[in-house]
Structure 1
């Protein structure tokens, strides 16, 4: 619950909910706790009769008051009496409250007025009205006040429903106007972070949201331009370097085989490999390859056979035939990097694959020295090398695992490294199982 109210949607709903509650509380207070007397007709009829009698008695000598009271008695359910110590009734309702207000208003607040019901079972009956008359009090008994007036009348109820509906409609509109552009910005930012594909965001919504969208569009343009410039520069460097390297290799092939010649050929091959690794790292995820259905079993089997032909012991195990919607060249490049890394330090390599309902998993395990536990995450960073962990590794650029990690992330998955017992390392690629209708573009 706390996490929900920490979001913008939760905070907006909290503000609207609190303001609505305060509004209805104020409205209810105005309805049920009025400042002045209620409007006619109720309870002005008994008010006029009692107030008129009180005004007459105020100007009448005490000796004549009983006669006036006797003349004022009626059969309309209203009875009068004078008493110095009358019994006091205590039950109060909205009826008694309103009658007391109207009497005080009519009498100008000059005399003490008290109204209560003497019938606890039915507070509308046996209403006692006490008005001070000097040393005595006028007691007026009302047999039945009738039904309590309705405060939630149809117009009032309609006004409250209209108010509530207006608040709900305006709240939905306000939330949609603020939240929808933010969600769109978040979606575009996430897609741009995965694919580095320029997708302008619609600049709509409040002023602040439009400014954020405009800034994000500018940022995307700058990053895309820088990435394109970097790719063009590296492509040019690659071309300029590979041309003289090719000439050098051709010249060496025309010379007599010597130890120096073999060393130079290895150095040239190493330079070509480093250039290819750097370009592959730059182009990962943006090389234009289209996704398609791939027979993963056939790909891995063919790859392992090629390594076996080269004298590297690689075995493949799979519980069932596997197919995957992916970029085949990218996945093959990732597996090649993992097997190449393992072949440098290990004498036995095992590749395993299996699928769950949502994931495809591929593991490349070796019997090499492994990697220190504290460096398992750091080795996936670009250009990071740990020669101490793999003594025989020579000439790597520190990009192999970075490329694998980027390819896995491109396919909605991850790369995990963990040491085996008693020795060895396992690299696990987790890929999301996606179809042609998947919202994530590969």
Structure 2
């Protein structure tokens, strides 16, 4: 508002300076009527012999509001007014070949007509006396000031509207930010206003969504861990209360708790994002993992190229494949890992022959802390983070991850890198 007020004041002052500037163009019809008469008289006298000039001067003065005479030593008037300056400027523009033209006011010398015009004419000077003829539009009138006032008011109104168009979305953004600090479950702010404000609102909405999702994920994590830790803690407490401590069972419960806590911490830390990318032989990694699980007694088979060069975060990709293979081994009797390469397109399928997942839950199982109540929910130490971690890592590498059921039974987890 200060900028608008200063701009309007500057506009007003500039306009007034133009109005009051003495050298500004004269208001018609003054002094152009008088200027044309004097210029016409001078042009006529220039083409006449000296003997005929007096007669022409007398004839030109009849019926006109001006008096003229040739005088070798005229008495000069010295006062200058706005009218005399306008007349002098117009005469010099109309008679550019004659230098020394002056126009002065004799009003303070009680002479009438009160304007004296002196035009050098050879050895003599043409002295012309005239009044201001005609009444042109005055410089300082109500229409002039009314138009200026209207201009300033319009500029102010439009400026206030433009400023309010920017301030209103900013106020809403500020109020939304303050409300978000107290309640994360609020609707996104409307993206309106200039382009920059819309971008700021869009960025705020994205930030609000990410923060809300993060807080909800951590809340679900705490709830899931709190719920799952009750069972092993209850068993451990019973062993201590009864005095029947079974070391193997106690170590199994501790290992189960450690697995759940490590899984949650790994999800929260997001180590895969900070890891540097480097070239990895994805075919060799898949073949090695399948051999290791096969040596431990799992029924697993790898089918695909021996070498698949891939620029990635090696630890994160190994974690992805380990999660998928362990899930498949846990819920299926036989696991098939199939890889194929077509140009820059890499596709990896991890399939099992287990009970599968209901079609309506194929998307839900990739959400953090989501667990089914069917046969696939019975994995010890699971808090529902494995597939969510896989999805996040694959998306961070620019790939896609999806699940689909096999016929007659089983589940396939497909990863595609483009």
TM-score scaled to structure 1, two decimals? 0.46
TM-score scaled to structure 2, two decimals? 0.48
Higher-RCO chain (CA-CA 8 Å, sequence separation at least 6): 2
Question: In terms of Rg, which structure is larger?
Answer: 2
